Every structure is written in structure tokens, then in C-alpha cells.
Amino acid sequence: MAFQKSDFDVTEPAVAVRLMAGLFYLPHVAFKLNGLEGAAGLFGRIGFQPPMLWVWLAIAAELACAVALTLNIQVKWMGLVSAFVMALAGYAVVMTKGPVWLWNFGGVEYIAFWGATSLALAAQAWKREYAAYGRVFFLWPNLERGVVRA
């Protein structure tokens, strides 16, 4: 897969949002890696059992979203994965702090925004693929039999 300059053109609003959605995962991954036991304790209190497995699943999912969204790889799928990760994070916040909305009080506002943004990025990727090829593909257009790239 070759990257294009347009994949990183921050003057394009959707690209800037995609890069932010991807790069914002990195501190979350680092936080979990630097405090595995604390993260496992939190996951355990929420009810995710076994907690350390869930911590590693969260790290893997967040790292995959960070790489894919930042580098514009399979955004149509990884945007959906990111939205699912945010749904789980929202559940975790509600289970630990109750139904609080405002982020500055530990609520889900930020998580909901990130999840909605991820869904919008996925929808845009599906829409762009359909506009470019007249259909959508499971993975990449040039990997499917009989498809000639325009």
C-alpha cells in the first residue's frame, strides 16, 4: 500500500479529524502500558473478566485504531472498530462514575464525540469507495478478482 500526500493533508478537514482520532489513541495506549496493574484493577471493577486479558485486548484495539486511522488504512472498518472501542469505554465510565455527561466531571461527553467521529470517518470511507468504484469491497478493490483499478 502506497501512501499519498493527500492522506496527510491537514488542510482537508476530514484528514485532520482522522489524524486526531488516530493519534489521540497513543496516550491511552501509553497510559495502559505504564499502569497495567491499575488498568487491570479498573477492568476488574467494571466486570471485564479476566481483567488483564481485557487490558491487552484494549491495548491491541487502541493501537490498531491508532495506526490505521493515522495512516489511512482500512478506515471503513477501523472507524467502526474505533466506535466500538468508544462504546466499551463509555460503558466503563458509566459503570465506574454513573451516568455523567460532561467530560470535566469524568463523564462520557468526550468518548461519545470520539465514537461519533469514528462512525463519521467510517461512513465517509465507505461513501468515497462507492463513489470511486460504483460498489464497496470487503478489503481493497485491487485485491478482488476481476477488478481493474481505474
Give the pLDDT confidence of 6-19 residue by residue, as tens digits: 899 999 999 999 99
User: Cell for 80?
Assistant: 467502526
> Over the chain, what is the mean pLDDT?
91
125: closest CA among 81, 86, 83, 73?
Answer: 73
pTM: 0.87
pLDDT band at 143 (very low <50, low <70, confident <90, very high): low
* Count of residues in the chain: 150
What is the pLDDT at residue 145? 53
Encode pLDDT of 66-88 as tens digits: 999 999 999 999 999 999 999 99
Q: Please say if the pLDDT value at position 141 is more than 80.
A: no
DSSP state of 12: S
Q: Is 143 exposed, middle or buried (0-12, 13-18, 19+ CB in 10 A)?
A: exposed
